[in-house]
């Protein structure tokens, strides 16, 4: 158990809908990262927050947004969902912004868009 929690574990929804994925980092970790794992794109970095502020952005679509709250939990919002958004979404956390800090991953949220 990495100490990172994600809810829900599974999510099934329809095209055009909007969903929110939630992540709680390990106790004391200030950085939260979101990754998407899909069959065609592999594991891709989406976005990172550090202590409530956006720190780095990757291949995140404009339909997707995220935020980190004062209690350090984070939410990833996916809107106008398309079939291609079906994927496993991981949240990871680390203790800071030092490049060598290991990122510990949550169990993931499997999103299925029908």
- Catalog residues that contact another protein under the rule CB under 8 A: 2, 31, 33, 35, 42-45, 48, 55-56, 58, 88, 90, 92, 97, 99-100, 102-108, 110
Q: What are the E-state strand segments in the chain?
A: 5-7, 10-13, 19-24, 31-38, 42-50, 53-57, 64-68, 74-78, 87-94, 104-105, 109-113
Partners of 104 in beta bridges: 93
Give dist(CA 23, CA 108) in Å, integer. Answer: 9
- The radius of gyration computed from the CA coordinates of the chain, to the nearest angstrom, equals 13
In 3D space, the residue among 98, 58, 90 whose CA is nearest the CA of residue 74 turns out to be 90
Closer CB to another protein, 14 or 56, in the complex: 56
**Whole-number minimum distance, CB 90 to another protein, in Å?**
6
Closer CB to another protein, 25 or 106, in the complex: 106
Closer CB to another protein, 12 or 56, in the complex: 56
**Whole-number minimum distance, CB 102 to another protein, in Å?**
5
**Whole-number minimum distance, CB 8 to another protein, in Å?**
14
**Whole-number minimum distance, CB 37 to another protein, in Å?**
9
């Amino acid at each position: 158990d990495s100490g990172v929690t994600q809810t829900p574990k599974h999510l099934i929804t329809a095209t055009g809908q909007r969903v929110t994925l939630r992540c709680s980092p390990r106790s004391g970790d200030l950085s939260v990262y979101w990754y998407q794992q899909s069959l065609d794109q592999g594991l891709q970095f989406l976005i990172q927050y550090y202590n409530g502020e956006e720190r780095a952005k990757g291949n995140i679509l404009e339909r997707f947004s995220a935020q980190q709250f004062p209690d350090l939990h984070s939410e990833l919002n996916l809107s106008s969902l398309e079939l291609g958004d079906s994927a496993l979404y991981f949240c990871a956390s680390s203790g800071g912004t030092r490049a060598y800090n290991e990122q510990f991953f949550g169990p993931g949220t499997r999103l299925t868009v029908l």
